[in-house]
Amino acid sequence: MKQLKFASRLSGKRKRETFNFSRRHLALVVALLTSGVASSFAQSYDDARPLRPNGGLALNQIMGFNAMVWSYDRFLKNEPWARVSPQSWKHNIWTPPVLDHNLLTSNQLLHPYHGALYFNSARSNNFGFWGAAAMTVLGSVMWEYLAETYEASPNDLVTTPLGGIALGEASYRMASVLRQADAPQWLRAAGATMLDPAGGITQLLHPSRASKGPRMPDHLVARVRGGSSVGAQVNWFADVGVEYGSLLSEAVERPFDVFTFNILLRGGPGHPVDRLESVGAIRSFDGLYDSNGFGLFQNLDYVRSDVVEFGGQSFGVGWVGTRMVGQQVEGRGKVQLGALVLGSTPARIRGVERRQNDYGPGLVAKIEGSLHTAGLQLVWAELDAFLLQGIAGTNGRHVILSSRVGIEIPVTRGLGVGVLTESSTRYSFDDLPRDESELSSRVYAYVSIVI
C-alpha cells in the first residue's frame, strides 16, 4: 500500500520524518468527520435551542474568519506565504503534509484560539458538540490547504481542532453564563463577546437564529487572583479560574457539562500568557460513594516560564473526591492519568541558528489537593507532569513538571489574601553529549476574590 509521508519544513529545506499515514487511515478520518456532521443534525444538544443547526451560516462564518486572518497576513503584513493562488492550492493538495517549526506561541496558543473561532461559529449556530468538532476540523483543513503557500502542517491539523474544541466549548459555556447573568444587556453582551467572539457575531447578525446556550450548571465558581511577583523582578499577574459543574453533584450527559478553566497572565517581556488550561469531562462514571466521582477528560495545556515552554493536547481518566475536615473545612482532591496525543517543546540545539521543536505523543498526570472554607482555598497544591517522546524534531525525550502551591488567609467571605509559589522543571534526554535539567520558580503575593 502506498503511504503518504510527512516531511519536516526547516530552514527552507525538507527533511523526511519517520512516521507514515496510510490512505486507509485517511479514508477512516474522512468517514468519521462525515458521520460527525450528520449526527449533529440528528441530536438535540442544548435544552433551550429552538432551531436546527444552520450549516450555511456556520460555514460562512468559518470562511469569514479565515478570510479575515488571511487578509491581515497578506495585505497588512505582506507575508510571502499568504500569496496563495490556484497553483499553490493544487500543490498543497497533492503534496504530503510538512511539519512546521513555528513558535510555540503560534502553534500552541494562536492555533487553538483560531480553532475555537471555528468551533463556536458552529456552536452558536445550533450545532451540537460533535457536529461543531467536525466543523472545526473542516475549518482547519481549509486554512492549511488554501490559505498558505506552505504545505499543510500535520501538527497544526491536530492542534487546531483538538485545542479549538477544548477552548471553544469552555468559552462557549462561559459566555452563555454571562448572557444569562443579572446585569445590563450591553454589559452582558460585551463580556460574552470577549469570551466568545464567534458567538457574539452570531448574536449580532442573527439574534433570532443564534443558540441560547446550555442550562446553567448546579455548581459554578469563578476565582480571580491578582497581585505582583516578589523578588528581583516585580511584575503584575492575574490568575483567573472557573469551575463549571461538578462530578460530585451531577452526571455528564453531554461533553463539558463539567469543566475547569484557568489562565494566568503576567507582565514583563513577551506575550502575557504564562499558563492556559482547559479540562473538560467527556463522560462521567458513578463513584463508590457520593463523595467520589470518575470521568473521561479532554485537556488543553500550555505552560511557559523562564526555562520551560510546553503545549499539548491530551485525554485522560480521572478521579475527584471530597471529605470534610472538621465542621467548616472541606478537603478536595483530583487525580488524572492519561495519554498525550500531541505535545511540543523547544528542542535542545546548540550552536545552530535555526529554531526547532520536538513534537510527539506521551503521557500526562495531573494531581490537585486543597482545603476550602467560606468559598476560599486555605491551602492548595497542583502538579502537572508531562512525558513527551519526540518523533519529529530531534527525537528527544522530555519530562516537564509544572507545580503551584498557595496559602490564603480569609478576610471576609469570598475575599482573601495569599502567597503563591510556581515552579517549572524540564528534564531533556536526547543525542547531545549531556542530559539537561532546568528549573524556574516564582513567588507571587495576591488578593483573591471568589464569585
Instruction: Specify the 3-state DSSP secondary structure of 308.
Output: coil
pLDDT the model gives residue 299: 98
Model confidence, pTM: 0.88
Q: In what order do the strands lie in the sheet with 3-10?
A: 13-22, 3-10, 98-99
Q: By C-alpha distance, which of 14, 135, 139, 144 is closest to 84?
A: 144
Which three cell numbers mark 118?
A: 471555528
How confident is the prediction along the chain (451 residues), in pLDDT tens digits per residue? 333 333 444 333 333 343 344 444 444 444 444 444 444 443 334 444 457 899 999 999 999 999 999 999 999 999 999 999 999 999 999 999 988 878 888 999 999 999 999 999 999 999 999 999 999 999 999 999 999 999 999 999 999 999 999 999 999 999 999 998 888 889 999 999 999 999 999 999 988 888 888 888 989 999 999 999 887 677 899 999 999 999 888 789 899 999 999 999 998 888 899 999 999 999 998 755 568 889 999 999 999 988 899 999 999 999 999 999 888 899 999 999 999 999 999 887 644 444 578 999 999 999 999 999 877 889 999 999 999 998 887 778 999 999 999 999 999 888 999 999 999 999 988 766 556 777 888 999 999 999 8
pLDDT the model gives residue 43: 38
Other C-beta atoms lying within 10 Å of the C-beta of residue 73: 16
Rounded distance between C-alpha atoms, residue 189 and residue 175, angstroms = 9
pLDDT the model gives residue 333: 96
Rounded distance between C-alpha atoms, residue 340 and residue 317, angstroms = 12
Rounded distance between C-alpha atoms, residue 286 and residue 251, angstroms = 8
pLDDT the model gives residue 53: 92
How far CA 402 is from CA of 243, 296, 343, 362, in Å, comes to 20, 22, 15, 16
